[in-house]
Structure 1
Amino acid sequence: MTYQHIRLPVAGEKITVRDNRLQVPDRPIVGYVEGDGIGPDITRACLGVWNAAVARAYGGRRAIQWCEVYLGEKAAGLYGTPFPEEALRAFADLVVSIKGPLTTPVGGGMRSINVALRQALDLYACVRPVRHFPGVPSPLRHPEKVDVVIFRENTEDVYAGIEFPAGSAEAERLERFLREELGAKVPPGSALGLKPISEFGSKRLIRKAIRYALEAGRKSVTLVHKGNIMKYTEGAFRHWGYELARDEFSGQTLTEEELHAAYGGRPPEGKIVIKDRIADIMFQQMLLRPAEFDVIATPNLNGDYLSDAVAAEVGGVGIAPGGNIGDFIAVFEATHGSAPKYAGKDVANPGSLLFSGAMLLDYLGWKEAAQLIADAYGRVVASKTVTYDFARQMEGAREVRTSEFAAALVKAMD
């Protein structure tokens, strides 16, 4: 495949898919997007840490060959658009990539590049692992009890982008249809949006969550929904989740009711519990009883709120990683914004992008390198060597720049 601006490293090989499995060479070509605002600062720092972890884990036998892909402001300068078709082709061609934060205007302007990317590549699962590292400031008394992996449906719900501004011809036409054909009560002059949630989309997301729970030795999958109010969308998500578990994983799953009726509340070896919680109650329970939850599967909007809220319990979105994953194509990402106020100042916390890169390594099957990053991070933060955002919350902290924090992580791997 030829590109206009993207240059593939000559020393690397592409990741491929064969027999429904990723085939990862020892020198895979992996795409990266610097991002906007603080993106170049944290990406530069993280590339050094990721490369060091791979080198130490495999003694030079493996090495990622990084290929820059362009989105956002840098792409606009090259292509005249922040979302070039060439980037989409590269993500599909390279299979696995990672990107820094991108700027999206609020209330107008271009549509979110992040949302458009997920939908264009059918990256239907936003996967967000959230855990606490000792020493990281937290508002909880026992943040160590938080250890969940959130699977958020990425392509449907209100993020499908089906909405019409108040007073538009489309909104007025839809308003008449709802009122005259379906008998719905719609205030005149409303802005209108649609919330599609499908059986196909729900089940493939929940299937991925259950498979992950089984492979990772987790104990439960909780379906989070607002089905008590939105009975035919989010209520259906809940119903389809239980149906999927029964039909496709009957020998490996059981419901909460079955757990207590047949096993006295103690799940047998090799089985995971499928349960559900209403979204508003789930926020409370993640504060009061976080240890009861393990893997979470939820529609798009719930997952957006919940993943950021749970991240706040263990240090904030500044260290919360994430990946947008389809059947095989995956684009990992920093989960926070581009923070243009701090662009080029070398002060931002690289944790979110750093751990998204660790997720990427784990996705490649390079678990040893991913673990080196987590271990080094724990040692550096425990020594109170941190960036400004953590330093202002910790007594006796040594505040360092982004690049200095990355250097400390590499040194801690020795």
Structure 2
Amino acid sequence: MTEYQKIIPPEKGERITFEDGKPIVPNYPVIPFIRGDGTGVDIWPATQKVIDAAVQTAYGDSRQINWFKIYAGDEACAHYGTFQYLPAETIQAISEYGVAIKGPLTTPVGGGIRSLNVALRQIFDLYACVRPCKYYSGTPSPHKHPERLDVIVYRENTEDIYLGVEWHEGTEACQKLIQYLNETMIPNSPELGEKQIRLDSGIGIKPISKTGSQRLVRRAIEHALRLPKEKQTVTLVHKGNIMKYTEGAFRDWGYELATTEFRQECITERESWILSNKEADPDLSLDANARMVEPGYDSLTPQRQEEVCQEVQGVLDAIWETHGNGQWQEKVMVNDRIADSIFQQIQTRPGEYSILATTNLNGDYLSDAAAAVVGGLGMAPGANIGDKAAIFEATHGTAPKHAGLDRINPGSLILSGLMMLEYLGWQEAADLMRQGVATAIANREVTYDLARMMDPPVDKPLKCSEFAEAIISHF
């Protein structure tokens, strides 16, 4: 075990280890926690109390979390010294113990780390940002039927523009890069035509890799397989109609993974059309099936029509025996949607979607938009999961003007704690927390942010600590 200088691990407890990307959890794990800045002083104690009560109620003394206080953000600077926003000991502790939970963190202004949250994701290769967006009855929402939305966003966490590879306008490096692109790369790429980058541009790089895309989609499909049959849908969200070799590749690599590694468990939407067409008419010709699958088939070139016919024949040859005659309806459905379209559809047709697998930037927007439908970031949990570590977190900011007043809503961090218990495999304790949160809100036992938006408004909202007690009372 590591010897730490300014933090003290608990005397009891064991490390969580990982095997094939899955946690191996002892009955008395040590779990590091970062209190968080601003309202972290309020929401972390409330969250810890709820988690501990749920574990105690579910398992008695046979299981217990041994908490290990570590530091990041402003609290780390106070403990370790100026500008020590992310101490080496914090990184070492998370690396050693595997699973951690944290409150909101201040992002330093000016130089240094751009975002502590992004830094932690990249340091530990936490490539899957998991954001469930589920409605709890009674939660104020701007939508008439927020209960129809029940989705889990799987957002790739380590690539895309968040990698932070960019150059400031006017710098020598930026000017050299623009010159190289304009004079060498673009002219030698016929498909780019005569495009040119303006000389007064800043430049950012958007890397999307096959490795990063497929490991994210793999986790999304594995999650779908654990859901009830009616929820087993994975939607690949992308902007591939514009960015064909990054966003479009994400979609293609997602389909490739689903139809190779998960061939027996998955069906693509397009494949389901081909199979269902044949099921409806066993004597249907390839040409007729292709016409039903491909919009505008009759206006396609003969070569393209032949390609679609070959696609239909290939699907029937490959999976008719294993997926045909209705068998595909028991498989995980994998489809794809353009990013701007899905933003509309989670509001207009939310019941059609279950798990959304997406690139980093699209996932950032989409998860916040979905959270707004079900009540806002105050009720939105989050997890960042990799193959050797996982960090669960509040998804909102630090709200420093509310710090220390015991009034802020701890729901986001409490629900993140619920996700953590599910990740540990402690489902009975997680179910108690879900029941407690749902019942407290349904009974209008809520903090001021929800109380003022209810109809009619709640006259006496609960304090942050009182909300935790209300949740526990409904276990």
TM-score, length-scaled by structure 1: 0.96
Unpaired segments ≥5 residues, structure 1: none
2:90 to 84, 87, 92: 87
Residue 215 (structure 1) shift: 2.3
Matches within 5 A, 1:229-248: 229-248=242-261
> Counterparts of 2:39 and 2:402 in 1: how far apart (Å)?
6
Residue 150 (structure 1) shift: 0.7
Residues 124, 388 of structure 2: 8 Å contact kept: no
1:401 to 455, 463, 470: 463
Instruction: Provide the residue aligned with 1:253 in structure 2.
Output: 266
Instruction: Provide the residue aligned with 2:473 in structure 1.
Output: 411
User: Cα deviation per residue 1:65-119 (whole Å; 9 max; x = unaligned)?
Assistant: 0001110011112223101121111111111110000011467664100001100
> Counterparts of 1:204 and 1:365 in 2: how far apart (Å)?
21
Of 76-85 and 247-256, the range deviating more from structure 2? 76-85
Q: Give the secondary-structure state (helix, strand or coil) at the position aligned to 1:305.
A: helix
Matches within 5 A, 1:10-409: 10-18=11-19, 21-80=22-81, 81-105=84-108, 110-183=113-186, 184-217=195-228, 218-263=231-276, 268=328, 270-394=330-454, 395-397=456-458, 398-409=460-471
> Counterparts of 2:437 and 2:220 in 1: how far apart (Å)?
27
Instruction: Provide the residue aligned with 2:282 in structure 1.
Output: none
User: Cα deviation per residue 1:26-61 (whole Å; 9 max; x = unaligned)?
Assistant: 111011000101012100110000000000011222
> Counterparts of 2:443 and 2:199 in 1: how far apart (Å)?
60
Q: Give the secondary-structure state (helix, strand or coil) at the position aligned to 2:217.
A: helix
Are residues 18 and 292 of structure 1, via their aligned partners in 2, closer, same or farther at CA, if it must alter by over 3 Å? closer
> Counterparts of 1:159 and 1:396 in 2: how far apart (Å)?
40
Residue 160 (structure 1) shift: 0.3
Q: Give the secondary-structure state (helix, strand or coil) at the position aligned to 2:27.
A: coil
> Counterparts of 1:401 and 1:241 in 2: how far apart (Å)?
45
- State how many pairs are aligned: 413
Residues 237, 342 of structure 2: 8 Å contact kept: yes
Of 15-24 and 234-243, the range deviating more from structure 2? 15-24
Residue 338 (structure 1) shift: 0.7
Residue 360 (structure 1) shift: 0.5
Identity %: 51
> Counterparts of 1:99 and 1:353 in 2: how far apart (Å)?
8
Q: Give the secondary-structure state (helix, strand or coil) at the position aligned to 2:7.
A: coil
> Counterparts of 1:154 and 1:181 in 2: how far apart (Å)?
32
> Counterparts of 1:19 and 1:391 in 2: how far apart (Å)?
45
One-letter amino acid matched to 1:201: G
Are residues 106 and 260 of structure 1, via their aligned partners in 2, closer, same or farther at CA, if it must alter by over 3 Å? farther
Q: Give the secondary-structure state (helix, strand or coil) at the position aligned to 1:386.
A: coil
TM-score, length-scaled by structure 2: 0.84
Q: Give the secondary-structure state (helix, strand or coil) at the position aligned to 1:111.
A: coil
One-letter amino acid matched to 2:274: A
User: Cα deviation per residue 1:110-131 (whole Å; 9 max; x = unaligned)?
Assistant: 4100001100110000011111
Residues 267, 273 of structure 1: 8 Å contact kept: no
Residue 269 (structure 1) shift: 5.2
Are residues 3 and 222 of structure 1, via their aligned partners in 2, closer, same or farther at CA, if it must alter by over 3 Å? same
Residues 166, 189 of structure 1: 8 Å contact kept: yes
Residues 113, 119 of structure 2: 8 Å contact kept: no
> Counterparts of 1:337 and 1:170 in 2: how far apart (Å)?
34
User: Cα deviation per residue 1:219-272 (whole Å; 9 max; x = unaligned)?
Assistant: 210000000000110010011011111111111111112223323697745411
Q: Give the secondary-structure state (helix, strand or coil) at the position aligned to 1:385.
A: coil
One-letter amino acid matched to 2:54: A
One-letter amino acid matched to 1:148: V
> Counterparts of 1:108 and 1:261 in 2: how far apart (Å)?
55
Are residues 282 and 364 of structure 1, via their aligned partners in 2, closer, same or farther at CA, if it must alter by over 3 Å? same
Q: Give the secondary-structure state (helix, strand or coil) at the position aligned to 2:407.
A: coil
Of 1-10 and 65-74, the range deviating more from structure 2? 1-10
Bigger radius of gyration: 2
> Counterparts of 1:120 and 1:19 in 2: how far apart (Å)?
19
Residues 259, 267 of structure 1: 8 Å contact kept: no
Residue 147 (structure 1) shift: 0.8
Residues 384, 396 of structure 1: 8 Å contact kept: no
Unpaired segments ≥5 residues, structure 2: 187-194, 280-325
One-letter amino acid matched to 2:8: R
> Counterparts of 1:324 and 1:135 in 2: how far apart (Å)?
28
Residues 318, 351 of structure 1: 8 Å contact kept: yes
> Counterparts of 2:25 and 2:210 in 1: how far apart (Å)?
32
> Counterparts of 2:221 and 2:51 in 1: how far apart (Å)?
29
Of 165-174 and 328-337, the range deviating more from structure 2? 165-174
